[in-house]
């Protein structure tokens, strides 16, 4: 049993970005703002539900400009993983803030996630509208035998009722 450690990676270039799995370092305001206002997949989500989803995800990755353990460090990106750490993992809520795009940060993040010792052998799944070629670089392919897969769509109204929140 490896256990899930809080780990930190530092970029080996002059830009000084770091990636950390320490949930206590995450800037939930930045994550909430992006997901609620900018994302195409969780538009309008409340801050309570963003925090709930972070708490209940086995691994959350923040990308920071500078080292959040040493300095003021701005969070510039995020991704989270839901997984049983044996066979199955789902990657979601991947984003890099617009002014930090194009520097290879999402590729760095994907390489770290897919190389995690407890995740790297699992079957990874995700959904994307237009970033297929990003994920293809890390071994993702369109679903094989899609006719054998089924999914039940999420229902915001039921989620909000379950958490006793008004939509
Ligand atoms: C998609 C996103 C995470 C990419 O982040 P980034 O740090 O700018 O990307 P990188 O610099 O690491 O490069 C991404 C690579 O994937 C490719 N790519 C494929 N689809 C892409 C897309 N929709 N947007 C950006 N890059 C994309 C790029 O061409 C690049 O490949 P290359 O360097 O081999 O040419 C970022 O644009 C973003 O946050 N978009 C809005 C949210 C989003 O769509 N998230 C993904 C949901 S599945």
Look at residue 1 and tell me whether its pLDDT is greater than 70.
no
Q: Is 153 in the pocket of ligand 1 (CB under 6 A)?
A: no
Distance CA 32, CA 44 (A): 9
Q: Is the CB of 94 under 6 A from ligand 1?
A: yes
| SS3 of residue 89 by DSSP | strand
pTM for the model = 0.96
Over residues 96-125, the mean pLDDT reads: 97
Q: Tens digit of pLDDT for each residue in 119-139?
A: 999 999 999 999 999 999 999
What structural domains and CATH numbers belong to the chain?
8-162 (3.40.630.30)
Side-by-side strand order, sheet with 123-125? 8-10, 17-20, 59-65, 74-83, 88-96, 123-125
DSSP state letters, 127-142: --SS-HHHHHTTT--P
What pLDDT, in 10s, does the model give residues 17-62?
A: 999 999 999 999 999 999 999 999 999 999 999 999 999 999 999 9
Taking the C-alpha atoms of residue 30 and residue 38, their distance in angstroms, rounded to an integer, is 11
Q: Whose CA is nearest to atom 42 of ligand 1?
A: 95
104 close to ligand 1 (CB < 6 Angstrom): yes
For residues 123 and 125, give the distance between their C-alpha atoms in angstroms, rounded to a whole number.
7
């Amino acid at each position: 049993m490896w256990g899930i450690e809080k780990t930190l990676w530092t970029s080996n270039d002059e830009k000084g970005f770091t990636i950390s799995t320490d949930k206590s370092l995450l800037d939930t305001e930045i994550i909430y703002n992006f997901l609620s206002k900018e994302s195409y997949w969780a538009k309008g989500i409340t801050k309570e539900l963003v925090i709930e989803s972070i708490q209940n995800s086995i691994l959350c990755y923040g990308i920071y400009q500078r080292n959040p353990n040493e300095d003021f460090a701005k969070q510039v990106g995020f991704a989270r993983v839901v997984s049983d750490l044996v066979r199955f993992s789902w990657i979601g809520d991947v984003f890099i803030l617009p002014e930090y795009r194009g520097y290879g940060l999402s590729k760095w993040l994907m390489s770290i996630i897919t190389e995690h010792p407890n995740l790297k052998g699992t079957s990874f799944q995700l959904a994307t509208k237009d970033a297929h070629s990003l994920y293809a670089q890390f071994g993702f392919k369109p679903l094989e035998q899609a006719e054998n897969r089924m999914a039940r769509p999420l229902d915001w109204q039921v989620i909000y009722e379950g958490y006793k929140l008004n939509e």
